[in-house]
Amino acid sequence: MDMNTIEAVLPTADPAHWQPGDAWLGGGTVLFSYGSTTLRRLLDLGQAGWEPVTVFGDGIELAATCTIATLYQVPDSPGLAALWPALDLVRPCCDAFVASFKIWNMSTVGGNICTSLPAGPMTSLCSALDGVATILSRDGGSRTLPVAELVTGDATNALAPGELLRSVHLPAHALSARTAFRRLSLSNLGRSGVLLIGRQDLDGVFVLTVTAATKRPVQLRFPAARLPGPRQLQDALDVAIEPGLYHDDIHGLPEWRRDMTHRLAEEIRAELLAEPAERSA
């Protein structure tokens, strides 16, 4: 950790306290890893007192400060797994961190989303389940935004300076869906290079969410009356993801990410729509 410019640590969850040179501190697993030479204060959310997980009739609310370790236990809550089968996605997404228990006990759902890395598994989970973020503003107001729109690129998002992610609401219609999960990495314990989640809602709508392969989440939705065949899905992916949107770093070239996105998307389509997968040459 190299943050020798910090002059104060202020326990607060009030955006009105924010000023230039501040950073919100959740678990700190990224903030302390990368360090900074420009920050002057840390606004510590450790004493915010937000309930990590709240269950409502219309879904689940995850506080931004909910740790990965706490989230991992949610599928064990009595009756929830049977009520909302899409909770099966929670543990594969947590495992996609490929992190130690020390990280799991500190890293937060909100911190992972706000870091906005393409491979952020909480972005994958919350986007795929139509998560809606509640964002607190410096003027005392708030706004909501789908998590799929909150992350706008590699380490960029739609948060204005000083805004604070308060929570993410996962709606019941998505939690009730059948789901399929696919993830690839170039190494056995490497960062996700491609992470796709498919969902078929009770009304038959098919939703495919592409993350890790792309700089920001990409979602495709098909109504029950027009479910895609293999060719229709491949064409839709090419329309939705222009070549420059595929991520390019040491964890995978854009061409590989595109090929694997198409391959895994077809596997998910076939699994959820109960059809044989079409194999590309």
What secondary structure does DSSP assign to 220-270, as a single string?
Answer: EEE-GGG---HHHHHHHHHHHS-GGGB--BTTB-HHHHHHHHHHHHHHHHH
pTM above 0.75, yes or no: yes
Token pair for 111: 């911190």
In angstroms, rounded to a whole number, what is the distance separating the alpha carbons of residues 145 and 133? 5
Q: Are 87 and 75 in contact (CB under 8 A)?
A: yes
Looking at residue 2, its pLDDT comes to 63
CB count within 10 Å of CB 46 equals 13
Cα-flanking dihedrals φ and ψ of residue 265, to 5°?
-60, -40
Identify the pLDDT of residue 223: 98
What's the confidence (pLDDT) of residue 279? Answer: 63
Residue 164, pLDDT score: 98
42 SS3 class: strand
Compute mean pLDDT per 10 residues along the chain, 281 residues long, and list them: 83 97 91 80 95 97 97 94 96 91 90 96 98 98 98 97 98 98 93 97 98 98 97 98 97 97 98 75 44
Say which residues have a Cβ less than 8 Å from residue 250's Cβ, sequence separation at least 6: none
Q: Order of strands, edge to edge, in the sheet holding 142-146? A: 53-56, 59-63, 164-171, 132-136, 142-146
| 166: phi then psi, degrees, rounded to nearest 5 | -90, -45
pLDDT at residue 281, rounded to an integer: 44
User: 205 exposed, middle or buried (CB, 10 Å; 0-12, 13-18, 19+)?
Assistant: middle
3-state SS string for 125-177: HHHHCCCEEEEECCCCCEEEEEHHHHEEECCEECCCCCCEEEEEEEEHHHHCC
